[in-house]
Structure 1
Amino acid sequence: MNPDECSEPPPTPCLNCGHELAAPRPNFCPACGQETDLRPPTLGAFLQQFGGAYLSTEGALWRSLKLLLLQPGELTRQYLAGRRKHYVLPLRLYLTISVVTLLLVRVLGGVEVDLATVNGYDPKAANSITIAQGRAGMRKGEFYCTDLPPWLCRQLKAHVDLDAPAFQRQVERFSERFVANLGAAMFVLLPSFALWLMLAYRNRCMRYTGHLVFALHLHAFWFVALAFALPESAWLSAIAVATMPVYTMLALRRVYGGRLGPRLLRAAAISTLYFVTLGLAMLGLALWSLLR
């Protein structure tokens, strides 16, 4: 037997950091910790890794959801206290929940766009779209625009074909565009909510990023509540909507503390500022989705 046949294969470097690996090759690089077997996993192994790391009953996602849903504000407290290893990071948790919810919005609910018909006319000949308190549409093949700024009426007339089926398609595209951009708009609004929190609780020893973490967790719960409000069930929607202010007050108490009276005043001020910001953002999103 040739002695060369029994010799160990020559050492190979780590593909990540270049460290010479000993023979027999270890499973992980002792210098950087990367796996040394970098062959693409099989589909079964990939699903097992994903499920074990993210979706298992012992995984970070379920631990995070348990705290998020059952103990308002506790997930934020755990993060601010430095206990982060066993939970999904705030931004990742928010993105995961918001993406799933917005997919459900597109499948189950969508954005309600007024395709109202005009009394006495053929439904195929009269369609309208409502923006804020104004309305634009077609009536007997003619474009009309009421209670909207003149510049917007001109823009709508320029973008809408006077053919009724074409206008119908334009309205449908508006709904799709609005839903597609809703997630990005809500994400952009998060820093403003954290800013209102920082102003309302400026006497707390907390950096802006701490308020942002609370905003991410709170919005994540709101998206969960929205998901439960989507099915066509009046009682389920009512419960989902009712939980939002209750949850918010409990989360504020756990994270910021304070007496009930001042907490209610702060919550009212934050809500007013945020809903004004949200309304302007949604109006801008609607116009951008319609006119682009």
Structure 2
Amino acid sequence: MMKQLIRHEGMRCANCGAVLEGEFCHECGQSFHSVLKPMHHMAEETVETLLHIDGRIVHTLPPLLLRPGFLTLEYFSGRRVRYVAPFRLVFVLCLLAFFVCHLRLEDSHIDLGPNTQLHATDNSFNAATTPAAVELALQQQLAGLERAQDALGPLGGLAASDLTVAKNAARQQAAQRIQVLEAAPAAGTALQPSDSLPTAADAEVHTKISNDWLNSPSHIEIAWLPGFANDRVSKSVSHLKANLRAMESPGASRQEAFDRLLTNFFGMLPQTMFVMIPLFALLLKLFYVFRRRLYMEHLIVALHSHAYLFFSLLLGVSFGALSSWLAPHAAWVTYPLHWLEWGLALWIPAYLLIMQKRIYRQGWPMTLLKFGCIGFCYFWLLTLALLVAGALGMAK
């Protein structure tokens, strides 16, 4: 059995031979403790490490949510040990936030079955030949949508957004049909039930163009790209066309294609956001170029800003899921949860503005101006990044 060392006086480092002045060598950093230990010692160290991490989380998350810029200023001041490192913090919160968002979207998907649906159709509107008939058809469709939601029972609250979209679509279709009916007498033409529909020839041409592109060969040959890159692009385009064909087809294949797109999109989001963080730091560097700060300082600001955004997203989605789960059992609980969601949403811009003011220490007019410009640029960069992530998700 190896003897366990408990004193370092007079000892030398086994790695570099330097005289030890503590538990760790001041030359190479190696510990003087042996790594060959009984299993119960390893279990004790594992528990201690986990508790230490938990302690750092307790010291990190409250100021991250409630004290704008505090963690960043602490990091710049050299007080870093008691807090979770910025990159680790943003990495964990990013994965957790998008994972919970994905679960929330999957739980919100409701299969209404073959006889119950929350979709508006325009057949009854096209068949109506008077405004009164259109109004009657509209009332019938709205009543049918209400019955469809009631048939879902407690799950009806999860489909509230789908119901609103369907109602608005029905009202819009009815308004368009009424406009066609009112314009027909003025033009002196006889109105047919299908006048508001596109002709069969137009639909056939549109379908032919769409099918020609979707069914065409997907081989891509770009002269300045190597062969393996052309093969990869061709394969991605082929997957994109296959997903589009599946989403246009009726039945279960459409839902499978949509679920696959959603999964791939959320799989791309963490990578997309990790690209956005250094871009946001670059924006800070450009707008604060005369403050003579290193890019690494701006990167720490970007890491803490995004960590806060992911934490807020995680809390907001969790509050929404909890509200939907408790609504059938204790509806009164949903009101404070909704207020918390609104509070989080309103606190986000205020938090980021206060954080920018505290870290860069400029006056309010200049801070507000730069905050608006940085937010505008970041919004369009994020929009472009999300579009790319969606396209890449479709191409898998």
**Taking structure 1 as the reference length, what is the TM-score of the superposition?**
0.72
Letter aligned with residue 289 of structure 1: G
1:212 counterpart SS class: helix
**Pair 1:261 & 2:365 matched:** yes
Aligned to 2:306: 219
* Structure 1 residues 75 and 152: alpha-carbon distance in aligned structure 2, compared to 1, 3 A threshold: farther
CA contact (8 A) 1:91 1:216 kept: yes
Out of 346, 367, 377, which is 1:242 matched to? Answer: 346
How far apart are the structure 1 equivalents of 2:268 and 2:307? 17
**Pair 1:45 & 2:44 matched:** yes
Aligned to 2:31: 33
Deviates more, 1:188-197 or 1:89-98: 89-98
**Root-mean-square deviation (CA), in Å?**
3.8
**What runs of 5+ residues in structure 1 fail to find an aligned partner?**
1-7, 21-27, 122-141
How far 1:275 moved relative to its partner? 0.6
2:346 counterpart SS class: helix
How far apart are the structure 1 equivalents of 2:214 and 2:76? 46
How far apart are the structure 2 equivalents of 1:40 and 1:267? 56
**Pair 1:272 & 2:274 matched:** no
How far 1:75 moved relative to its partner? 1.0
* Structure 1 residues 18 and 78: alpha-carbon distance in aligned structure 2, compared to 1, 3 A threshold: closer
CA contact (8 A) 2:59 2:83 kept: yes
**Taking structure 2 as the reference length, what is the TM-score of the superposition?**
0.54
Deviates more, 1:193-202 or 1:163-172: 163-172
Letter aligned with residue 282 of structure 1: L
Residue by residue over 1:132-154, the C-alpha shift from the partner in whole angstroms, topping out at 9 and shown as x without a partner, is xxxxxxxxxx9x89xx9x97998
Aligned residues: 249
How far 1:200 moved relative to its partner? 1.1
Residue by residue over 1:88-120, the C-alpha shift from the partner in whole angstroms, topping out at 9 and shown as x without a partner, is 22111111222222222222346999x995626
How far 1:193 moved relative to its partner? 0.4
How far 1:257 moved relative to its partner? 1.1
* Structure 1 residues 17 and 91: alpha-carbon distance in aligned structure 2, compared to 1, 3 A threshold: farther
Aligned to 1:119: 121
Pairing of 1:15-26 with structure 2 (within 5 A):
none
How far apart are the structure 2 equivalents of 1:188 and 1:67? 25
How far apart are the structure 2 equivalents of 1:54 and 1:203? 38
Pairing of 1:72-221 with structure 2 (within 5 A):
72-109=68-105, 117=119, 119=121, 157-159=241-243, 160-161=245-246, 162=249, 164-221=251-308
How far 1:227 moved relative to its partner? 1.2
* Structure 1 residues 152 and 265: alpha-carbon distance in aligned structure 2, compared to 1, 3 A threshold: farther
CA contact (8 A) 2:4 2:33 kept: no
How far 1:67 moved relative to its partner? 2.8
2:277 counterpart SS class: helix
CA contact (8 A) 1:111 1:179 kept: no
How far 1:236 moved relative to its partner? 2.6
**Which of the pair has more CA radius of gyration?**
2
How far apart are the structure 1 equivalents of 2:51 and 2:108? 39
Residue by residue over 1:5-62, the C-alpha shift from the partner in whole angstroms, topping out at 9 and shown as x without a partner, is xxx97999xxx95689xxxxxxx78682064143475696366223322003xxx222
Identify, as 1 or 2, the structure richer in helix. 2
